């Protein structure tokens, strides 16, 4: 069974600064997807960024980028130029490429942004 | 185009009662997944429905059951409620796929409180 671990329960960053959230996972599969989701106080789960395991290039979406280390089973999220609206709970998630679309989530990291 | 909708928003029940939560998927989606998110934790996969059948199930007891209707909407039923069933219940919809990526879209959730 796959597992996802987020070792940082809470992180803080100054507005306009950069912060990195950590995630490790365990799987025996070679092809899979990894995701970072954002859940603000409104509870709506929003996809931030995804990475396909067969792609060596790290995914980037505007101010959000990942550092995907497949051999180390590590998948960190870097947020550049942090904004107050980035404050939320962030979840790392894993999905097999086989049928099922089931997501396996980590426990989450609360990100606080200071003005 | 409406996204994923869930009803009700909040619900309060007492131990031993039964509850039904409802989800309407995003237009064009045929697969519905349900997740339980306890306070301060990551979502846990309950089950997934496609073509009106349960296709995958997480580690949840038989007290948790579901249904998918011909219009792809879905219900989650929980019998004999326990205090530990208090959580945010999230519904996610997607297109069923195997090795191509189709994003899961989440609803705003139903907050269930069991007293």
pLDDT digits (tens, 9 = 90+) for A21-41: 999 999 998 889 999 999 998
Q: Which residues of B touch A (CB under 8 A)?
A: 31, 33, 35, 40-45, 48, 55-56, 58, 88, 90, 92, 94, 96-99, 101-104, 106-109, 111
Q: Is B94 exposed, middle or buried (0-12, 13-18, 19+ CB in 10 A)?
A: buried
Query: d(Cα A75, Cα A52) in Å, to the nearest integer?
Result: 11
Beta-carbon contacts of A62 under 8 Å, excluding residues fewer than 6 positions away, are: none
Interface test with A, best of B50, B90, B104 (most A CBs within 10 A): B104
Answer yes or no: are the C-beta atoms of A81 and A16 closer than 8 Å: yes
How many whole angstroms from its chain centre is CA B99?
Answer: 24
Asked whether the predicted pLDDT for residue B99 surpasses 70, the reply is: no
Q: Are A35 and A103 in contact (CB under 8 A)?
A: yes
Q: A71-107 pLDDT, tens per residue? A: 999 999 999 999 999 999 999 999 987 766 789 999 9
| pLDDT tens by residue, A53-67 | 999 899 999 999 999
Token pair of B73 as six digits = 């909407």
A57: DSSP letter = S
State percent of chain B over pLDDT 70.
96
């Amino acid at each position: 069974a796959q597992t996802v671990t987020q070792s940082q329960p809470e992180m803080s960053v100054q507005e306009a600064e950069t912060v990195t959230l950590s995630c490790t996972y365990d799987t025996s599969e070679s092809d899979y997807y990894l995701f970072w989701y954002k859940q603000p106080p409104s509870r709506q789960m929003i996809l931030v960024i995804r990475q396909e395991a067969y792609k060596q290039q790290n995914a980037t979406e505007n101010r959000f980028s990942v550092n995907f280390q497949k051999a180390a089973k590590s998948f960190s999220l870097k947020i550049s130029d942090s904004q107050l609206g980035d404050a939320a709970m962030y979840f790392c998630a894993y999905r097999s490429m086989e049928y099922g679309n089931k997501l396996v989530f980590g426990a989450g990291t609360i990100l606080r942004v200071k003005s | 185009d409406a996204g994923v909708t869930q009803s009700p928003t909040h619900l309060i029940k007492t131990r031993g009662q039964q509850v039904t939560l409802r989800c309407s998927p995003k237009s064009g989606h045929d697969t519905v997944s349900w997740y339980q998110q306890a306070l301060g934790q990551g979502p846990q996969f309950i089950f997934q429905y496609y073509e009106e059948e349960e296709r995958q199930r997480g580690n949840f007891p038989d007290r948790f059951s579901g249904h998918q209707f011909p219009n792809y909407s879905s219900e989650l039923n929980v019998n004999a409620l326990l205090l530990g069933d208090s959580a945010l219940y999230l519904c996610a919809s997607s297109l069923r796929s195997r090795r191509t990526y189709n994003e899961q879209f989440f609803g705003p959730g139903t907050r269930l409180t069991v007293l």
